Amino acid sequence: MYACATVPVTGRSQLSLISNAEIIPMANQQYREVITKGPLSRNAEQTAMIRRVGVNIQKAVEQYMAEKNLSSQLNGFAWEFNLIEEPTVNAWCMPGGKVAFYTGILPVCKDELGVAVVMGHEVAHAIANHGRERMSQQMVAQVGVQSLGALMGQNPTLGNELFMQAVGAGTSIGMLKFSRQHESEADKMGLIFMAMAGYDPQEAPRFWGRMAALSGGQAPPEFLSTHPSSETRVRDLNSWMPEAMQYYKK
């Protein structure tokens, strides 16, 4: 019998064979490895901006979850926000609230408002437990097991590999790509979170327009590799905007 969980905001049911208590410590260890290798940015102003936006989004998430009586889903979260000095156009959030931005995405963000679009989107992936869900899917698809303990008992090497792929942002192994469903879900949740944090959600379509223009007809940057088309994304964002604006207080 498959275990199910419900995604906050969207209400979608998802496969969940792994608990946060299992996956968050593993993610924390990997995050430390990434941050240790760095190099972290020495730009104090940019680093402060990333952390300021991160804390604001964190508070919005905690408020949202408390209002929905879902605070227990944040058990084990130990938020952290870092800026890595690298030209890669990317950002990510691991299970447990560990966030990394790369300096290469800052010109696309342009300012704090653009950073809030990305921060809300990436944090939404963690709140929606997308990494946990896709690792659960891989466990069933590849080895047919339904618990992390069973997988690690039968094939610990494969278990570690699936974990690294599921939450391995910034590593040489690379990530299992989020599905378009996950990306669209993070878009909607991110709108709500940034609006609650006091950032105008109407910036989101503008940011994604800049991101789409960056590809210039060539292969898209890593941050866009599996995202919905820019036309679909902007249409969806605009359709969700009235709901998001209800949370926005200037």
DSSP strand pairing (91-94 vs 4-6): unpaired
| DSSP 8-state code for residue 36 | H
DSSP strand pairing (80-84 vs 98-102): parallel
Please identify which residue in the block is written with the tokens 């990305």: 118
How many C-beta atoms surround the C-beta of residue 207 within 10 A? 20
d(CA 235, CA 60): 25
33 is catalytic: no
Q: Record the tokens describing residue 140, joined without a space.
A: 């069933």
Please identify which residue in the block is written with the tokens 């060539």: 218
- 22, 80, 122, 203: the catalytic one is 122
d(CA 44, CA 218): 33
Helix, strand, coil in percent for the chain, rounding step 5? 60, 10, 30
d(CA 147, CA 117): 35
Catalytic residues: 122
